[in-house]
Structure 1
Amino acid sequence: MLLKKYRWVFLGAGVAVLGAATYMYYTYDPAVHSWFPQCPFKALTGLDCPGCGSQRAVHAILHADFRKAFHHNALLMFFIPYLTVGFSYRCVKDPDERLLKWRKILFGEYAIKILAAVIFAYFILRNVL
């Protein structure tokens, strides 16, 4: 009930935080500025996790350098559109049957398992190659 009552406040706060983060990542390069958070997994193990390079990739995307973004984190280049579609599905108030079918295909149980396998394979391949 609380979420429904203050949904516009939460939405406004989310937009403000997203706008501030976009400004920060556009203005400051995470590769140059040391105050950006570092990956704790990489610090402990020396291996790249599936998210390593995402901050630099976001900076490159915001500057329309997609080749550099792909170099930093190729998985992020595919997940941004995927997550955008998922968020847009959540915004539809009364979805029809066709939309529900596609949502189940793209974000259902099997899709989550495939997604987990892709992330795990990416983790292994980026550390082996």
Structure 2
Amino acid sequence: MHPAHSAAPPRPAAPAGSPLRRLLVPLGTLGAVASAFAYVGLVDPNEPGHYPVCPLYRFTGLYCPGCGGLRSAHDFITGHFATALHANAMAVTGYLLFGVCWVLWAVRSARGLPLRIAPSDRQWWLVGAAVVIFSVVRNLPFGSVLAP
């Protein structure tokens, strides 16, 4: 038998409109996010020397909206949800929001429909206000429950 005939015939590529092809970008995004979470799950941010310190915290002693985010991700991925909320409640909200949006994106992509998330200017202002309020409150004595 000729060597060229011993190999199985190549599989045809998925057509441009196939659900598998339409899911490549959402699955790639999920893979990248899952890889980052896996790394943070394996390399504990509570151990000194693995990650840089927040510059705002280092120079001012103030918590930015992201402070505690890596510890929150580590606790979230290892199943310590209450600790993750304490480290950074806004980050946990973001993880959950990402999950919901990703599922919607994947379902709509598989169906060949675009995902259109277009917050209004008012909604963006509300998000910005929530981030500012979260940042200010977590730095005040009565808001210490929000501090990492």
Q: When the two structures are superposed, what TM-score results if normalisation uses the length of structure 2?
A: 0.64
Q: Give the structure, 1 or 2, with the largest relative contact order (CA under 8 Å, sep 6 or more).
A: 2
Q: CA RMSD in A?
A: 2.8
* Among candidates 25, 50, 54, match of residue 35 of structure 1: 50
Which residue of the partner structure matches residue 131 of structure 2? 119
1:80 is paired with a residue whose SS is helix
Which residue of the partner structure matches residue 84 of structure 1? 99
Task: Give aligned pairs, total.
Answer: 116
Output the CA distance in 2 between the equivalents of 1:62 and 1:83. Answer: 14
Percentage identity across aligned positions?
24
Which residue of the partner structure matches residue 4 of structure 1? none
The one-character-per-residue Cα deviations of 1:82-117 (angstroms, maximum 9, x if unpaired) are 23334455553436xxx86xx45xx33222111100
Output the CA distance in 1 between the equivalents of 2:121 and 2:101. Answer: 14
Q: When the two structures are superposed, what TM-score results if normalisation uses the length of structure 1?
A: 0.72
Alignment-mate amino acid for residue 69 of structure 2: S
Residues 26, 102 of structure 2: 8 Å contact kept: no
Which residue of the partner structure matches residue 113 of structure 2? 94
Which residue of the partner structure matches residue 109 of structure 1? 121
1:54 CA drift (Å): 0.4
Output the CA distance in 1 between the equivalents of 2:130 and 2:38. Answer: 30
1:48 is paired with a residue whose SS is coil
2:53 is paired with a residue whose SS is coil
Which residue of the partner structure matches residue 37 of structure 2? 22
**What stretches of structure 2 of length at least 5 have no aligned partner?**
1-21, 142-148
**What stretches of structure 1 of length at least 5 have no aligned partner?**
1-6
Output the CA distance in 2 between the equivalents of 1:11 and 1:89. Answer: 10
